Structure 1
């Protein structure tokens, strides 16, 4: 009998100890722990978000296109990456140009509409619009993209 009651007492003390440590832990550490648990439990459907890439002749064109994409809810976020060098063949000649790269995060289902918008405002005769589906990443960020860009 003594053995059973001491085991129960030990278990109760152990649970009380864990509870005390949890509630006495600084709020920041508790938040980090809870966030890590929630991130691990969030589901993301692979490929439902894509990263699209567009090259632009200069910063002004790049920012105009980026702003238009976000305003029209065709993209959640557009990174404007300055000063890239592109080397390509165009009309039988090797060309080298300084360009600006847009990295666009959107729903995969919006890539066609995004492409049509870019083509309608882009100054190039044939503009680059390519995309790749995102298989995995930070689930809260990918959820934010899908929340920001409506279906």
Structure 2
């Protein structure tokens, strides 16, 4: 189980999440018609090699259109009554919301952690051609 520190959460918010919302608010003609049809999932992994293995499998199995690997994140969390600090990589995965459960099962089956992080957020707005591309690469079923 990964619990991010306040500083890590703030960093993720200002570097990844907030820019998405700022851009989408600035361009109201974006793909808001497809709100919640697509999601971004976040998965922490122990290193980029594990991230590449999981990422390739997700794309090959049509569970993700794209997996970005963000190297060198530091996770601070409590596990089994002990505070831990680990260097990890973060996967940012673009998919259909309808496929998040299958994506989660794939990650759980291929992840080395006893309890791995898989969290997702709906994409509320975005570049319509990019959202269409996600849909073309990740089928409904």
TM-score (norm 2): 0.76
Asked if 1:144 corresponds to 2:133, the answer is yes
Give deviations 1:26-69, integer Å, cap 9, x for gaps.
xxxxxxxxxxxxxx597732100000000000111110000000
Relative to 1, partners in 2 of residues 1:95 and 1:48: Cα closer, same or farther, differing over 3 Å? Answer: same
Write the distance in 1 (CA, Å) between the matches of 2:85 and 2:33: 40
Count how many residue pairs are aligned between Structure 1 and Structure 2.
Answer: 113
Relative to 1, partners in 2 of residues 1:92 and 1:77: Cα closer, same or farther, differing over 3 Å? Answer: same
RMSD, matched Cα: 1.6
Query: Which runs of 5 or more residues in structure 1 are unaligned?
Result: 1-39
Write the distance in 1 (CA, Å) between the matches of 2:50 and 2:92: 14
1:119 partner SS: helix
Q: Which has the higher helix share?
A: 1
* Contact 2:77/2:84 (<8 A) preserved: yes
Query: Which runs of 5 or more residues in structure 2 are unaligned?
Result: 1-28
Segments ≥4 residues shifted beyond 4 Å:
40-43
Structure ID, larger Rg: 1
Write the distance in 2 (CA, Å) between the matches of 1:57 and 1:145: 27
Which residue of the partner structure matches residue 75 of structure 2?
A: 86
Which residue of the partner structure matches residue 33 of structure 2?
A: 44
